Structure 1
Amino acid sequence: MDDREQGLVSIIAISYNHAPFIREALDSVFAQTYQHIELIIVDDASTDQSAAVIQSCIAGKNIQFIRNTANEGNCRSFNKALRLSKGRYIIDFALDDLMYPERVAKQVTLLEQCGNNGVCFTNVDIINTESKIIKQHYPALHHKLHKDFIPQGNVFEALLSRYYINPVSMMFKREVIEALNGYDESLAYEDFDFWIRSSRLFSYVYLPEVLSAKRIVPNSLSGLFYQQRQQHMFQSTLKVCKKAWWLCETEEEKKALVHRCRYEIKQALRYKYTSVVKEYAVILKAIDPLFYVYGIFISAAAYIWK
């Protein structure tokens, strides 16, 4: 029986200038109650003491450590580690975040029980740089309402419409990422593209527990998303929306894409990325000329009135 059949979990941990948080993050991995784990760490040419902290934390342990000589970005760094991994299940883990002790065990159990699901996600604590909990990703709700509030199964349309999954919480089966040929290395970030492409092929399942913590760090990739001088981020989102256009199968999904494009147009106008706005307009026009006119009018009006 090989590692995949035994339920090996590959945790691919990416670090870029995470030195103050690395020891706590790695300790949270070492504290997992599930024992059949391989850990592969990539430091993406950090300019702080991240590499030294990592080496100190893993000394004497059987852990693969890749130290990039130049900054390659999350997508390429993840794919490099993925090619070395052997796990049946994969977690993409940033070394400024945390996982709670039962996380891996509970997600593996759920994915093994639900054979048709490829991705499992959970609720998440949002913490600050001092590891204090600020809030939860999903607010506390009555259990039934909570379950109904979180889309599961075929979530393609829901993921097009809005951001609702915290990527920190995800575990996915190896066949999911293999079907996608890894992350798209032309993109500045991976989450939206992974969701759109994988949800067209695999079902998602929600585990209503808080099993991880997402740290809010100034100048992080997510924190910089909607800011000036971040053109690559805007272009990456546009590229995913173009992929989504080809993947839409129903009128409801096309309407969800229209909603997404209108939102992204508003953001691009706000930060004066006019070339991106024009390309979104092409997508809207391809769906329906009425959506095109309405989308541009509403987005421009929202920008002017802001």
Structure 2
Amino acid sequence: MKEHEKPLVTVILTTYNQEKYIEETLTSVFYQTYPFIQLIVIDNASTDGTMAIIDCLRSTAPAFQIIRNDINAGLCKAFNQGLALAKGKYVIDLSGDDIMIADRVERQVECFENLSEDYGVIFTNGCYIDNLGRRLNNHYRVDENGRSVAHIPSGDVYKNVLERYFICTPTMMMRTDILNQLGGYDEALLFEDFDFWIRSSVRFSYYYLDEILTLKRVVPASLSSMVYRKGSGMLASYYAVCNKAYDLNRDQQEFDLLAARIRTFIRKCLYAQEFDLAIRFRSLLNYIENPGWQTEFIVLLCRLHLPVNFAYRFYIKNLKKAPAQEGFGF
């Protein structure tokens, strides 16, 4: 591909109170081997020194755009603010504490340019790091050559998305036009990934590039840690996405997979003491199949309002130390 033919890539970086990590994250964008990058930074009303660091870097780094929100607009709305300004053929959604390996954009663009137009997303393996930048484990286990030891779904992954969490979210590069077709992220939700996977994979193919190109930081305040917090709103967002999937499903197998996923969310509702939401999940499940005695028993426990949240969060904190591999995370 000739230099003048290389497409522009928009990196939308959303940040909130990430003064410890934002400089390293921004630097990982500045030092990409691929030169055709539009960087848009959206600060979601940080109250720490995040913006001071961004302003300092702006005086010496390549030019980039900044949006400063007066209030925390939420992740999805902040991303959509950047998407409205995106000029790139492809988009990367980057958190203010994750790190891109130097040739990430180059490798993903090269791959995308060799795929047909029905491919909307490229994702890769990723490596989890702690707050000090120490490597913990990979999203997918790898062999001595750094290749995934398991088969990772590619192509039509809609059924796989219904079945389980398996995509490392920050590794994705997306076609800008499909994001626009979908109306961007759903701003009514607390998170973007499950909803985006459902709405996009039913229409577009995904491609797995078997390389580690992103370092994903694991911090206690991450959204994934909130799913078991009572009243966090996470499970309510999952309920909304399950309703969307119900409307999008194309065959009985997909309804079976959705039913199994709904059962897991009912259990999570018990652990998070989201009792009323568990009953709503159960009603949705009943449209697909008979819930069965095991699920009905869990719903009964929810109706009894058992105070199990503290005990379960203690278990999560002390026994689940590292992020899940092979896509069997929360």
Interval containing the TM-score (normalised by the shorter chain):
over 0.9
CA distance, structure 2, for counterparts of residue 106 and residue 65 of structure 1: 26
Task: Quickly say closer, same or farther: Cα 1:55–1:81, change in 2 above 3 A.
Answer: same
Q: CA deviation at 1:107?
A: 0.5
TM-score scaled by structure 1?
0.92
Q: Does structure 2 conserve the Cα–Cα contact (< 8 Å) formed by 1:44 and 1:72?
A: yes
CA displacement, residues 243-266 of structure 1 (integer Å, 9 cap, x when unaligned): 000111111111110111000000
CA distance, structure 2, for counterparts of residue 212 and residue 159 of structure 1: 21
CA distance, structure 1, for counterparts of residue 294 and residue 204 of structure 2: 30
Query: Paired residue for 2:211?
Result: 209
Q: Which structure 1 residue ranges, 4+ long, deviate > 6 Å from structure 2?
A: 301-306
Query: Paired residue for 1:79?
Result: 80
CA displacement, residues 184-235 of structure 1 (integer Å, 9 cap, x when unaligned): 00001111100000001100000000000000112122222222231x1111
Q: Does structure 2 conserve the Cα–Cα contact (< 8 Å) formed by 1:284 and 1:295?
A: no
- Gaps (5+ residues) in structure 1? none
Q: Map 1:233-244 to 2 at 5 A.
A: 233-244=234-245
Matched to 1:228, the amino acid is K
CA distance, structure 2, for counterparts of residue 226 and residue 180 of structure 1: 29
Alignment of 1:261 with 2:262, yes or no, is yes
Q: CA deviation at 1:293?
A: 2.7
Query: Paired residue for 1:171?
Result: 173
Task: Quickly say closer, same or farther: Cα 1:295–1:261, change in 2 above 3 A.
Answer: farther
CA distance, structure 1, for counterparts of residue 288 and residue 127 of structure 2: 38
Matched to 2:295, the amino acid is I
Identity %: 38
Q: Does structure 2 conserve the Cα–Cα contact (< 8 Å) formed by 1:262 and 1:299?
A: no
Query: Paired residue for 1:39?
Result: 39
Alignment of 1:272 with 2:273, yes or no, is yes
Equivalences, count: 300
CA distance, structure 1, for counterparts of residue 65 and residue 278 of structure 2: 43
Query: Paired residue for 2:51?
Result: 51
In structure 2, the residue corresponding to 1:252 is in which secondary structure? helix
Q: Does structure 1 conserve the Cα–Cα contact (< 8 Å) formed by 2:90 and 2:174?
A: yes
CA distance, structure 2, for counterparts of residue 286 and residue 223 of structure 1: 30
- Gaps (5+ residues) in structure 2? 313-330
Q: CA deviation at 1:5?
A: 7.1
Q: Report the RMSD for the aligned CA atoms in angstroms.
A: 2.3
Q: Does structure 2 conserve the Cα–Cα contact (< 8 Å) formed by 1:90 and 1:171?
A: yes
Q: Does structure 2 conserve the Cα–Cα contact (< 8 Å) formed by 1:169 and 1:211?
A: yes
In structure 2, the residue corresponding to 1:138 is in which secondary structure? coil
Q: Does structure 1 conserve the Cα–Cα contact (< 8 Å) formed by 2:226 and 2:234?
A: no
Q: Does structure 2 conserve the Cα–Cα contact (< 8 Å) formed by 1:263 and 1:299?
A: no
Query: Paired residue for 1:162?
Result: 164
Matched to 1:23, the amino acid is E
Q: Map 1:22-37 to 2 at 5 A.
A: 22-37=22-37
In structure 2, the residue corresponding to 1:113 is in which secondary structure? coil
Matched to 2:72, the amino acid is N
In structure 2, the residue corresponding to 1:185 is in which secondary structure? coil
TM-score scaled by structure 2?
0.86
Query: Paired residue for 1:245?
Result: 246
